[in-house]
Structure 1
């Protein structure tokens, strides 16, 4: 049994842990069929194979068939049970993966070792992509050793400098994901550098406006507060010292960051210096897109597959209630 898969089955669940219980829950459901785009590195191929061994996904590998087989040989893993679709370039692989999702052959898309831009160009095409009426955004889920529950960080990958309206849609995507993962009323911290509203800091104005939008029902399903600095968002002691009264301070579930740069740095600082485990997924598309950094670990990729699995199963459950059954996997 692969080492990572064994760790999911044997480890004890720590207080506030979300991801490993999620894996166990998803293992009780059928594996979802996933197109794996350009798995042409050891870590990207191993991540997909581990997720398959854990019973989370049934992969369809799309990329350079020769490279994929060569990497599999170096990893000493067999790909005999999985289809491989040859593609000559990252761009061709991305287009083929998107088409598999559009046809309903695969229920999710897993980024391999290609550049995010190469994948997302195929995803966002108006006619041949995976767009919906919702804004496309990314959510990191971080489990940090010193925080008592998972943190949802958005958007640190897709939207570079979101407007107020963009932030409202990005936030609703994250709230809906939290609901899917069992957090019924998430607490949202709208991050900035300070807790007071100032015309000199645009993120404080956006935070104040988002709170009022929630009051008016334009954002639903969560408790919002902001602007909040990072320390007061996650530390009740910091909020106490600053004499800040807030229903969110010290207990945030979701962190809405001001822009991509601040969010990306925050997530990676938590991972590399804070020892956090990260998983990531793109929302607002017709299927979930499992999008991690090319440098991310095998574990991060497996954890991200579990999130996509939960999303697909929730969508299937909703479709079944409406009388429209969606298959988990279709033969090529």
Structure 2
């Protein structure tokens, strides 16, 4: 695989990960709490394939029981027995801050509530994980047969109702991910129900302000269009091509949701 070439599928991304790991030692990953079956399975399979060195944090007896249920009891891993889910997340955060692990995956805190609560613990002041000035957002990576290449979606889990400033930072974070996937020119569509800002829709006004910000940045490798309908972002024939610059219909690399509910729908 050529260095810097765009990643167009999840299998190619997996192959690239193997290349990186072969060149160095596997990164150390912490999963907390680690008793959730679905997340545990993915992490154990990655460990078995040599992609990561894992630390599982949570109720040790339940973790081993779930590994056996998945047929992954032979998977080599370190288990840190911390039955309390909240304390497990805090322990993982401290390991990340100290450099003991380089990747942290939050599991499902079922006895507190769900994944959003996991992030509240992880990003709270007590964990020390979030440094002053940090802005964190989630970026989803989607592969679909109807779309050529990998499609990024943000924010899907951390910023409930972004302000204009937060919207700009969400886009910048997503562009960084696109760069890591080898994209040289990144096309960003800020989603709305229509393609023009209207006074009766404050969201579309905010999206146009964000798009204008990036236009003033004058970076030809980052093209931001907003507001833009979803069909126009993904389907070439959905809307007429615009005479001015912007994201051409059907050519978006990143979809930006105007709130967390849209991002998860």
Same topology, TM > 0.5: yes
Q: CA deviation at 1:20?
A: 1.4
Q: Is the 8 A contact 1:124 1:131 kept in 2?
A: yes
Could you say which residue in structure 2 is the equivalent of 1:81?
Answer: 76
SS of equivalent residue, structure 2 residue 239? helix
Could you say which residue in structure 2 is the equivalent of 1:65?
Answer: 60
Give distance in 2, aligned partners of 1:113 and 1:259: 22
Q: Is the 8 A contact 1:34 1:110 kept in 2?
A: yes
Q: Is the 8 A contact 1:189 1:248 kept in 2?
A: no
Give distance in 1, aligned partners of 2:116 and 2:231: 32
Could you say which residue in structure 1 is the equivalent of 2:184?
Answer: 184
Could you say which residue in structure 2 is the equivalent of 1:228?
Answer: 228
TM-score (norm 2): 0.87
Could you say which residue in structure 1 is the equivalent of 2:115?
Answer: 116
Give distance in 2, aligned partners of 1:70 and 1:16: 37
Distance 1:199 1:255, change over 3 A: same
Structure 2 unmatched runs, 5+: 1-5
Give distance in 2, aligned partners of 1:218 and 1:168: 15
Q: CA deviation at 1:59?
A: 0.7
Give distance in 2, aligned partners of 1:73 and 1:55: 19
Q: CA deviation at 1:111?
A: 2.3
Moved over 3 A (4+): 218-221, 243-248
Q: CA deviation at 1:103?
A: 0.9
Q: CA deviation at 1:53?
A: 2.0
Give distance in 2, aligned partners of 1:98 and 1:218: 38
What root-mean-square deviation, in Å, do the aligned CA atoms of Structure 1 and Structure 2 show? 2.1
Task: After superposition, give the CA deviation of every residue in 1:259-308 in whole Å (9 maximum; x if it has no partner).
Answer: 0111110xxxxxxxxxxxxxxxxxxxxxxxxxxxxxxxxxxxxxxxxxxx
The one of 44, 49, 52 equivalent to 1:49 is 44
The one of 9, 13, 16 equivalent to 1:18 is 9
Give distance in 1, aligned partners of 2:218 and 2:93: 31
Q: Is the 8 A contact 1:189 1:227 kept in 2?
A: yes
Distance 1:237 1:58, change over 3 A: same
TM-score (norm 1): 0.70
Structure 1 unmatched runs, 5+: 1-14, 266-332
How many aligned positions are there?
249
Give distance in 2, aligned partners of 1:205 and 1:250: 23
